[in-house]
Structure 1
Amino acid sequence: MNAPLRRVGVVIIVLFGLLFANLNWVQGYKAESYRTSDYNGRVQVAEYDRQRGNIEAGGRALATSTETEGELKFLRTYPDNELYAHVIGYKPVNLAAIGIERAENEFLAGTSDQLFADRVRDVFTGEETGGGNVLLSINRRAQETAYQQLSENRVGVSRGAAVAIDPRTGAIQALVSIPSYDPNPLGGHDTGAAQEAFNALEGDPDKPLNNRALGEVLPPGSTFKVVVAAAALENGTTIDTPISAGPVYRHPDSGTDIRNAVPSICPQDEVTLITALTDSCNTGFAKLGVALGAEAVKDKARDFGFEDDELVVGRTNGDSGLPVASSRTGDIQNPDGGEDGAALAQSSIGQNNVRMTPLEGAMIAAAVANGGTQMRPYLVQQLLHADRTSSFYTADPRELRESVSSSVATDLQEMMVNVVRAGTGRNARIDGYTVGGKTGTAQAGENDKDHGWFIGFAMSDDGQPISAVCVVLENAGNGGSAEATRISGQIMRALIAEREGR
C-alpha cells in the first residue's frame, strides 16, 4: 500500500474512533442530562400521560392539571392567574419551567425517587398514579393583600416587590413582584402561542418575568442603617451614646457633600444613636460608618446575609428551590487596596455600591425580631402523596446564621420601634401590636427617581414575632418610602387578622 492510501486509512480509523467515543459519551455520560433536559420535547410530552400534582397554599390549588381530549392528556392551569406567578412559575410543553414548578418538578411529575413505589405498582396495575402534591408556606390573605396594595400603589409606579417572613421559622408568608404575568398562556398546549406569549413578556420593558423579590438588587438607602447600627452596638456603642452628626458632612477624600433629607434632621453636632436612626440622620451614619471602618461594616452585613452566593428558597434543607441574587456591599477600596473613606461614608447610608434584594431586607428585619437569629427562608411546607395519605417531607425550620447577639437585637428592636412610633415609619403603626421598622430612600441614578423602601416587623404584646416584611417601590420618587411603609403595614395587618381569626 502506498503512502497516500496509508494516510487516508489512518485518518478514517481516527475518525471512526472519535465517532465511537462520542457515541459512548452521548449514550453513557450525557444520556441522563439529555433525558431530563427542559428542552427535550419528547420527554415533556410523555409527562402529560401522568397527572401532575397540585401546588397548593392554605387549602387552595394554585396550580393543577385537568384532563383533556387532546393528544396531551392533561392541561396545566393556574386558577389565580397573576397572583402567585413569581412563586409557582409555570410548566410549559417545550420551554423551560421556572419557579416551584421547576424546583419540585420531579415530585410533581411523579418521577421522584420518593414515588418509586407508585411507579412499580403501576407496572402491575396498568394505572398511572399522579404526581405528588406540593404545599407552600404562603399565607393567601397576606399574598392577596401584598399583590393588591403593590398593584394599586398610591405613587403610580409599575415595578416593585414585597416579601413577608415568619421570623421564628423562616416560612415565607408572602412573595410578590410587580408587574406580574398570567402563566396560563405559557403552560398551554399550543406551543406556538406559548412561545408568542413568552416573547411578548420577554420584550416588555418592565420585565414582568423577573422575580424582583428574589432577583432584583437595588441600593437600599437608609434601611442599611440598621446594619451599621448593629455594627456600632457590637463595638461598644449604646442606643443613648452621642454620635457626631450635623447638617452636612464631606469626607476629606470626597468632593461630594452628604446632607440630610431636610435641614431639621439632626442639625446639631451630636445626637444619640437611637435619635439618628429614628430621624434617619445621614450625616450621623456616614460619620459612624467611617469611624467603624469598612471591615466592621462589611462583616456585619455578611452576618445578616450579604455576600451569600448559595441561598435558594425552597425546602428547609436548602438543596433546591428558587435562586436568590446575592446582596452586596461592594468594594470600599482605593485603587491601591486601601480603604476608600469617601465610598465608606456613602455605603454607610446604603448608597455607593451597596445592593440588596427585597428578600434580604425582610431577612434583616426577621433576624432583629427573632432575637438575633436568622432562620433559613423557605417556601415548601410539605410534600404529599398523590392520594394525600402520606407525607414525604414536612418543613423543619433551621437556623441559617446568628446575625447579632440577643442583647444587640433587643436594642435594635427598641430603635426600630421608635422609628415607627415617632419617626419616618409612622405609616406602619398597628394598634395593639409592637411594630418596628426602617424606611429608606435610595438614589437610583442622576436622571432617575429614588427608590422607596421599608423593612420592618410586627410582634405581639408578649414579644412573639408575627412577621417581618420588606417592600420596595422602584423609582417612586417623593413619597415612595412612605407608601412602601403603608403597604408593609397592610401586609402585617392581614397576617394579624388571620392570626386572630378575623
Structure 2
Amino acid sequence: MTKELRRLSFVVLAMFLSLFVATSWIQVVDADNLAQNPANTRTRLDSYQIQRGSILVDDSAIVTSVPAGDRYQYQRVYTDAEMWAPVTGYFNPALQSSTGIESALNAELSGTGSNAFFAEIERILTGQPQQGLSVELTLSAKAQRAAWDALQGLQGAVVAIEPSTGRILAMASTPGFDTNTLAAHNSAAVDAEHDRLVADPTKPLYNRAIAGNLNPPGSTFKLVVATAALESGDWTLESTLPNPATYTPPTGRPISNAWNGTCGEGETTTIAEALRRSCNIPMAELAVELGDKAIRETAEKYGFNSEFEIPLKVTPSSYPSGLDGPQTALTGFGQGRVTATPLQMAMVAAGIANDGAVMKPRMVDSVIADDLTVHQQFTDEAFDQVLTAAQAQALGSVMVQGVSSGAATGARIDGVDVAGKTGTAQNGDNPYSLWFTGFAPAENPQVAVAVVVEDGGGRGQSGSGNGIAAPIAKKVIEAVLGR
C-alpha cells in the first residue's frame, strides 16, 4: 500500500470513528435531552398517543389521565388540586407547558424517556396502547392534608421531612390554585386564568415552600449560629455571654430583645438560655464573636447557598459572604441579609434530629410501570455532617426546653417531647414573617417540620411565630405520628 493510500485510510477511519461517536452520543447519552427538547415536534406528537402515567401518594393516584375528545387524546385530572399544586404542578399539551413533578419527570410520565424503550418495543409487537410510567412520591396524604388545612386563610408554607432519610412528607403552600384549570385544552381560557393568577397580589403560583420571595428566617436561624459555636470547639451550650438590655455592635445600630429587657436575670446568660427564651442580644454577640465566615460555613453544611433538585428546582437559601460586624450581628437572630425557604429550615431541624447528619431532601420514591414493575428506585443520600451526635442531642434537648417552657410552647403535644424553635422576622415596615422549625418525638425523631406564615398572619406587627406558626407545625406532627 502506498503512503498516500495509508493516509487516506487513516482519514476515512477517523471520519468513521467520529461519526460513530457522534451517533452513539445522540442515540444513547443525549437521547433523553433531545427527546424532551420543546422543539422536538415528533416526540411531542408521539406522546399524545400515550396515556400519561399517574402520580401516586400512599399508593393512590392524585393525578391521572382520562380520554379526551380532541387531538390531544388524554386530559390530565388532578384530585384535591389546590392542596397538591406545589407538588404536582400541571401539564398542558395544548400550550406545551408544565410545572412541578409533571415537568421534572416528564420523560417518565410521558413514556418518551430512554427507560421507556422496552415499553415502546412491547407496544409495537403486541399492538397494545403504550402507557407512561407512574411516579410514587414520598409524601404522606395525612401530613399534606394537615398542613393544607392548618394554612387556610394564610399566606405561607409547610415542609415536613423524615430526618433519617430526607424523604419529604409534606409540602404545602397557600394560597393555592386549581391545576385542573391550567391543564385544560382550551388555550384561551387557560391563558386568561393564568393571567389572573399572575396578577393576584397574594401570588398563588408561588411555591412558597421552596421558592418565591424568600423570607428572613428570624430566630429559627439561631440554631445555625449555635451549631457554628459548638462546631468551633470553643463554645458549649453552657458558655456565657454578656446580658445587657441593649447591645450596639461596633459601628452598628442598637439591638434589643423582643421584650426590651434582659435575657433572664444576671449579668450573663448562657447560649442554652438564649435559645430557650429566644433572646436576640446574646445571639448577636455570639455571631460577632464567631464571625460571618464561620457562620456561613456551618450554614452551608445545612444546605444554605446550595442548589437542590428534589427533583423540583429549589431556590437556594442565602447566607452571603463579606458581611461586616453589624450585618453579622443581625444574622445572629436571622435578620439582615440571610434568607431561607421552609425546606431549608426543615433541613436544619432534621439535621439536628438525625444526630448531626444532614440528608439530601427528595420527594420521589420510585418510577413504576402499569404492571408494578419498578423501573427506577430512588435512594437516600447524605449531604453533610454538621454536628457530632452528642452535640446534636444536647442542642435538641435545649429545643425541647423551648417547647416545654420557653418561647415555642405553641407546639406542645401531650405525651410527646417536641423539640422546636420559633421565629418572628422583621421585613422592614412590612408585617412580620412568622416561623417555626422543630422535630418529634425528641427521643426518636420521625418528622422534622418548618412553617413560615407571611404578612404577619393577617395580624400586622402583632403576629408571632409561637402564636401562629407553631400550632400549624403541631398539627402536622400529630398527623405524622397518628395522634
TM-score where L is the length of structure 2: 0.89
Q: Distance in 2 between matches of 1:454 and 1:37?
A: 41
Taking structure 1 as reference, are residues 182 and 44 closer, same or farther at Cα in structure 2, changes over 3 Å only? farther
1:429 aligns with 2:415: no
1:230 aligns with 2:227: yes
Shift of 1:435: 0.7
CA contact (8 A) 1:331 1:353 kept: no
1:195 aligns with 2:191: yes
Task: Within 5 Å, give how 1:289-308 maps onto structure 2.
Answer: 289-308=287-306
CA contact (8 A) 2:35 2:113 kept: no
Shift of 1:479: 2.7
Hey, what does 1:468 align to over in structure 2? 448
Q: Distance in 2 between matches of 1:439 and 1:150?
A: 17
Which runs of 5 or more structure 2 residues have no equivalent in the other structure? 1-25
Among 335, 359, 369, the alignment partner of 1:375 is 359
Hey, what does 1:453 align to over in structure 2? 435
Task: Provide the secondary structure at the position in 2 that maps to 1:442.
Answer: strand
Shift of 1:73: 1.5
Shift of 1:203: 1.8
CA contact (8 A) 2:215 2:341 kept: yes
CA contact (8 A) 1:221 1:443 kept: yes
CA contact (8 A) 1:58 1:140 kept: yes
Q: Distance in 2 between matches of 1:265 and 1:439?
A: 19
Q: Deviations for 1:325-367, whole angstroms, at most 9, x for unmatched residues?
A: 111112443xxxxxx1111111111111011111000000000
Residue 170 of structure 1 aligns to which amino acid in structure 2?
G
Hey, what does 1:417 align to over in structure 2? 400
Residue 288 of structure 1 aligns to which amino acid in structure 2?
L
Taking structure 1 as reference, are residues 210 and 39 closer, same or farther at Cα in structure 2, changes over 3 Å only? farther
Task: Provide the secondary structure at the position in 2 that maps to 1:271.
Answer: strand
Q: Distance in 2 between matches of 1:394 and 1:433?
A: 33
Hey, what does 2:246 align to over in structure 1? 248
Taking structure 1 as reference, are residues 39 and 140 closer, same or farther at Cα in structure 2, changes over 3 Å only? farther
Hey, what does 1:105 align to over in structure 2? 106
Hey, what does 1:24 align to over in structure 2? none
Task: Provide the secondary structure at the position in 2 that maps to 1:465.
Answer: coil
Task: Provide the secondary structure at the position in 1 that maps to 2:440.
Answer: strand
Hey, what does 1:356 align to over in structure 2? 340
Q: Deviations for 1:374-397, whole angstroms, at most 9, x for unmatched residues?
A: 111111111111222x10122311
Q: Distance in 2 between matches of 1:292 and 1:307?
A: 19
1:68 aligns with 2:59: no
CA contact (8 A) 1:241 1:272 kept: yes
Q: Deviations for 1:269-321, whole angstroms, at most 9, x for unmatched residues?
A: 3111111101111110111111112211111111111111x3111xxxxxxx1
Q: Distance in 1 between matches of 2:210 and 2:167?
A: 15
Taking structure 1 as reference, are residues 473 and 41 closer, same or farther at Cα in structure 2, changes over 3 Å only? farther
Q: Distance in 1 between matches of 2:68 and 2:246?
A: 68
CA contact (8 A) 1:471 1:487 kept: yes
Q: Distance in 2 between matches of 1:215 and 1:146?
A: 17
Taking structure 1 as reference, are residues 457 and 33 closer, same or farther at Cα in structure 2, changes over 3 Å only? closer
Hey, what does 1:179 align to over in structure 2? 175
CA contact (8 A) 1:241 1:273 kept: yes
Shift of 1:37: 3.3
Among 469, 472, 479, the alignment partner of 1:487 is 472
1:119 aligns with 2:123: no
Task: Within 5 Å, give how 1:321-360 maps onto structure 2.
Answer: 321-333=311-323, 340-360=324-344
Q: Distance in 2 between matches of 1:382 and 1:331?
A: 38
1:262 aligns with 2:239: no
Hey, what does 2:85 align to over in structure 1? 85
CA contact (8 A) 1:376 1:400 kept: yes
CA contact (8 A) 2:293 2:321 kept: no
Q: CA RMSD in A?
A: 2.0
Taking structure 1 as reference, are residues 306 and 33 closer, same or farther at Cα in structure 2, changes over 3 Å only? closer
Residue 124 of structure 1 aligns to which amino acid in structure 2?
L
Task: Provide the secondary structure at the position in 1 that maps to 2:329.
Answer: helix
1:401 aligns with 2:397: no
Hey, what does 2:20 align to over in structure 1? none
TM-score where L is the length of structure 1: 0.85
Task: Within 5 Å, give how 1:36-51 maps onto structure 2.
Answer: 36-38=36-38, 43-51=43-51
Larger mean CA deviation between 421-430 and 36-45 belongs to 36-45
Q: Deviations for 1:81-122, whole angstroms, at most 9, x for unmatched residues?
A: 201001010001214211100111111111121121110121
Taking structure 1 as reference, are residues 249 and 332 closer, same or farther at Cα in structure 2, changes over 3 Å only? farther
Hey, what does 1:392 align to over in structure 2? 375
Which runs of 5 or more structure 1 residues have no equivalent in the other structure? 1-27, 314-320, 334-339
